[in-house]
Every structure is written in structure tokens, then in C-alpha cells.
Chain A
């Protein structure tokens, strides 16, 4: 079952359009929500939280409509992008307060707050005022706050901003752990590299519309109009190039450094079929064969490139 379902969903604010007629279903597990600033990511998150009312269409979380249904919120943990703090509070008080607002009482609230803080590795700093926290610590205490009522869905808006690599690593582990416990996560990030390390499942929004969704490699395969680039590091790239140049499946060849040949082709599978034979027949010494443009970053660039 899909966690979030969007059905002809649109949202506009006066003349400004946030999301434009989007239909999609977000699967279980971790989904990376990507897009440039102003693409509509935060709008989608707010709609999923029921904080905004769809202008048209509908959005369902766990099969229920969310607008004006605070009940659904008890299953969602939300980590906003900004710094919505009472910065004089200590980290512990902050989390405890939010535990109480989400309906926990007395020792249950204390226990939940302690547990959430421990999960995010903030126990050591929980007694200090948030005012003195670094950006990374603020992010972690914000994530602790989302976990306090044991939600089934986490919506995290740029949780990695400002965190150092060590903290990111720990957060990544935490997210995988949560997924194992049955929590689903929708996470937006500008750091494509981090998303790629976390999940292969993406939802890419541009100009208020979904331009790609699903498994990363599947997404790349659907982009048929884009020739694929295959990078071969080999001792004599020009000899290999000469052989490949005669084939009509090859669209372009470039010797980009003395030991690297980049092959452009609309039919990568057929090139992959041929390559081992060519290399072995010519007795070349190969160092690396790799798809040069299957990284999330390359895909993101293709899909959001502006004409001209």
C-alpha cells in the first residue's frame, strides 16, 4: 500500500503555483524528495501534513484525507526546515514540551523524550540551552522532537543542512533503523549525494510538477532521448575508439584524458555486450568501466535543465 497518495493535486497561493496537477503514490521505505528551491517540495510536505488545504484534487496519507483531520497528525512526525525554537529552553525541555503537546503525560512523556533524545545521540547536550547549539545539534534535536510520539511516517525537510559528516552518518543509520521498525520516511534534501546514500527511491519535482519518480536506475533508463555515457579507462583509448567508431550504435566518442574514453550511446546495453570482446580481442588493459551519468546528480541535472 502506498503511504502517500496524490490525486490530481494542485495548490496555488494567489497567482503563485506551488504544485500543479500532480498524481503520484509514494511507496513505503525512504523516499527522497528532490527539487530546486521553489520547486514545490515544501508545499507538498505541508499538504501531506494537512497544514495546507489542496486547491484542487486530494492527498491521502495512510489512505485518509489529511486536510483538517488532526487525528492523522498523531501518526506523522514533521521536522521543518527553519528554527522554530524557544531557544532559551534546554534541548530536553523542548522535546519534553512537544511530547506533552502530543498527548503524553507524566512519566510516559519523560520516558519518550529521553528515548527520542538518545536515538538522535543528543543525550550529552540535552541539558544545555538550544541557544548555544550548533546547526547540526539543532537539526538533531528537531529530529528527536519528531520521534517523540512514535510516528509511522516521518516528514523531514532538509534534515541534513548544517550537520557534519559524522552526524549525517549517524542520522543515516538512525533512519535505516527506523525503516526496519516499520517507519516510512519522506525526506527532502539538496545534498543529492546524501540522498543517494540513503535510498534509491526518489521523487523529483520541478516547477510544481513531478518530473521523475521511482527507482533511480529505472528513472535513468526511461530517459531514452538522452544518450548514455560510458566511461572506459584503458591503456590505449584511441585504439578502442577506432573500433567503436565504425559501429552505428555509438553516437559519440571522446578521449577525455590520456587513459579515458567516454562513449555516448542511446543503447548502452548493446555497448556493454560488445565491450569485453573488443577489449579482449585487442589485448587492451582495462582499469575501469562505468556509467558516467547514472549518479543522482547527473539525473537531476538532466531533468531540471532549463532550455537555453
Chain B
């Protein structure tokens, strides 16, 4: 016998499914955050052009590998000049180019990262400011915190949104370049070297994600107007750079190797990356005279100072984030 069934009586239907334990809640925040950010045309263009910076490094890798083949011939002369212009290292007259492969590559990645940082400034200024500020403006925080979401989950999710964009512009293209370079030249001398370079690229990328991501989140949590956040972010980055520039102009190099040399966020990250890559040591150990490679190096600063300054920024930023988010997660109006 068939039973007659009427559905759609426009009554509320209970749902009997299971809720998961909430381990993946952060992922929903990340995915939605990235989707919303990529809705902006400008953001998409910036991310793509940011990725294109590595085209340059691919060309350099190709030239270097070419140079190894044609060294000593007439063709090599133009290629030496190319390397000098792009990498600021004078290796003309050196016959054993393979010996310099590792420091050459590392210097090239350092340069790429320096350029990518400028792009990051813009991409983060597009993507980051609204992350928390928009939720504050639309008073959406009580919605999150009426669901099984903790401030930690919320902030992790939001931070991962910025971090993903930083990775998209910097880390992923660089790792791709390393892979391509290894394919055309057969890699660095050993697999160990190639892997350690990959690891160092990941570490430097992670550093930028942590420092940049927490700072933009903290700024974003401080006001409900995301435009102010964008302005503040650019100001924090550019003003510290300018201040550092002025100090470097007016003080002797020795004075700026300590705390005074660690004002600019970007410079600090570059200093730490250089230290991480061990470029100074690599060139120093080579047979080249100091003048030939000095311009590829950044100004000497004690890495511990730079690390401390960045660490302090990060800790402060994390504290600000939690303070603001916990404060606004409470729905108790007018008190």
C-alpha cells in the first residue's frame, strides 16, 4: 500500500545531522576570506603581477646556467655584464662558474624577495585591512561568537587569509622558480643544498607571513574603517623605511649595525633573510675580492637585533588582536 505524503507544509523541519567537533572551523573562515578578497579586480591583478616578478629570476637562472656552458667564449662577455647589472656581482673573468652557483642563486632569491616585498605592501594593503575592520563595522563578531568559534580560531582563520596571499605572491612563485632552475641546470651541486635552499625560502616566507600578517590584523582590529587601516599599514611600512634611510645617510655604518639599524620592518626582514640564506658567508668563502660582491649584500646589522624588533612587533600585534576581538565578541550593548 502506498502512503500519501504531503511535504512543503511550510513548517519548520528539524535536522538530525551531526555537527563535527569544530576542528575545521578555521578553514571555513579562510576559504570565505580568500573568496571575498578575490572578488576585487584590483586584488586579482596585484596577486597575478606579484607572481610575475619571478619571471625575472627565472631568466637570471637561465642566463647563469647558459654562462656555465659558454664560459670562455665570446658569447660569455655579454652574459657577464647581464649578471653584473641584475645581480650586482662582478664575476667577469671567473672560469669556474659552477663554484659560484650557490651564492649566485641565493643572492638572486634575496633580490627577488626584496622586490616582492614592495608588491606585498600593496597586496596586503588591499586584502588585510577589511579582515576584522569590516566585521567590526557590520557588527558581525557576535555572530561568530554565538557559534562554537573561539577568538583563537577566528584570528587563526583571518591570519591565514593574509598568510595565503603573502604565500601566493612570494613563497609559491619562489619555490616554483627553484624547481624550474633545478630542472634546467640540474640543481645546486647536491640535493642537500637545493633542499636547504627550499627550506630557507619557506622559513623566510613564514617569517613575512607571521610578522606582516599579525601587524595588519592588529591594525584592522583597531578601527571599523578599513581605509584607515590601509593608510596606517602603508605608513608603518613606508615611514619606518624612510626613517631608516635618513639614519643610514647620517650615521656611520658602525652605528647602524645595532638597534639603530633595525627600525624598518622591511629591512629587518631582508636582513634576517640574508642571514638565513648565509649569503655573506658564502661569498666571503669564495675566491672573489670583496669589491666584486659587496653591492649584493645588504648593510651589515646584527641579525639578533632585527629578530628582536620583529618579534616585539609580532607579540604586540597578537596581544592587540586578542584584546580587541575579545572585547567586541561580547554582545552587551551600551555598557
Q: In the complex they form, do A and B come into direct contact, defined as C-beta atoms under 8 angstroms apart?
A: yes
Residues of A within 8 A of B (CB): 132-134
In the bound complex, how far is the Cα of B335 from the Cα of A133, in angstroms?
10
Residues of A within 8 A of B333 (CB): 134
Interface membership of B250, Cβ < 8 A: no
4 contacts between A and B (CB under 8 A): A132-B334, A133-B334, A134-B333, A134-B334
Of all chain B residues, the one with the shortest Cβ separation from A131 is: B334
Residues facing A in B289-335 (CB within 8 A) are 333-334
In the bound complex, how far is the Cα of B333 from the Cα of A132, in angstroms?
9
Q: Is chain B's binding surface mostly helix, strand, loop or mixed?
A: loop
Of all chain A residues, the one with the shortest Cβ separation from B335 is: A132
In the bound complex, how far is the Cα of B334 from the Cα of A161, in angstroms?
17
The 4 closest A-B pairs by CB, nearest first: A134-B334, A132-B334, A134-B333, A133-B334
Residues of B within 8 A of A132 (CB): 334
Residues of B within 8 A of A133 (CB): 334
In the bound complex, how far is the Cα of B334 from the Cα of A132, in angstroms?
6
Closest Cβ of chain A: how far from B335's Cβ, in Å? 9
How many pairs of A and B residues are in contact by the CB < 8 Å rule? Answer: 4
Q: Is chain A's binding surface mostly helix, strand, loop or mixed?
A: loop
In the bound complex, how far is the Cα of B334 from the Cα of A134, in angstroms?
6
Closest Cβ of chain B: how far from A167's Cβ, in Å? 14
Closest Cβ of chain B: how far from A241's Cβ, in Å? 30
Closest Cβ of chain A: how far from B273's Cβ, in Å? 45
Of all chain B residues, the one with the shortest Cβ separation from A134 is: B334
Closest Cβ of chain B: how far from A129's Cβ, in Å? 12
Closest Cβ of chain A: how far from B325's Cβ, in Å? 21
Closest Cβ of chain B: how far from A2's Cβ, in Å? 42
How would residues 36 to 78 of chain B score, 1 for a CB under 8 Å from any chain A CB and 0 otherwise?
A: 0000000000000000000000000000000000000000000
In the bound complex, how far is the Cα of B334 from the Cα of A133, in angstroms?
7
Residues of B within 8 A of A134 (CB): 333-334
Of all chain A residues, the one with the shortest Cβ separation from B334 is: A134
Of all chain A residues, the one with the shortest Cβ separation from B333 is: A134
Residues of A within 8 A of B334 (CB): 132-134
Of all chain B residues, the one with the shortest Cβ separation from A133 is: B334
In the bound complex, how far is the Cα of B333 from the Cα of A134, in angstroms?
8
Closest Cβ of chain A: how far from B282's Cβ, in Å? 58
Closest Cβ of chain A: how far from B168's Cβ, in Å? 40
In the bound complex, how far is the Cα of B335 from the Cα of A132, in angstroms?
8
In the bound complex, how far is the Cα of B333 from the Cα of A12, in angstroms?
39
In the bound complex, how far is the Cα of B43 from the Cα of A80, in angstroms?
39
In the bound complex, how far is the Cα of B333 from the Cα of A133, in angstroms?
10
Closest Cβ of chain B: how far from A124's Cβ, in Å? 15
In the bound complex, how far is the Cα of B332 from the Cα of A134, in angstroms?
12
In the bound complex, how far is the Cα of B327 from the Cα of A297, in angstroms?
42
Of all chain B residues, the one with the shortest Cβ separation from A132 is: B334
Closest Cβ of chain B: how far from A163's Cβ, in Å? 14
In the bound complex, how far is the Cα of B150 from the Cα of A228, in angstroms?
56
Closest Cβ of chain B: how far from A77's Cβ, in Å? 27
Closest Cβ of chain B: how far from A137's Cβ, in Å? 9
Closest Cβ of chain B: how far from A42's Cβ, in Å? 24
In the bound complex, how far is the Cα of B335 from the Cα of A134, in angstroms?
10
Closest Cβ of chain A: how far from B333's Cβ, in Å? 7
Closest Cβ of chain B: how far from A93's Cβ, in Å? 20
Of all chain B residues, the one with the shortest Cβ separation from A137 is: B334
Closest Cβ of chain A: how far from B131's Cβ, in Å? 25
Residues facing A in B148-198 (CB within 8 A) are none
In the bound complex, how far is the Cα of B194 from the Cα of A143, in angstroms?
74
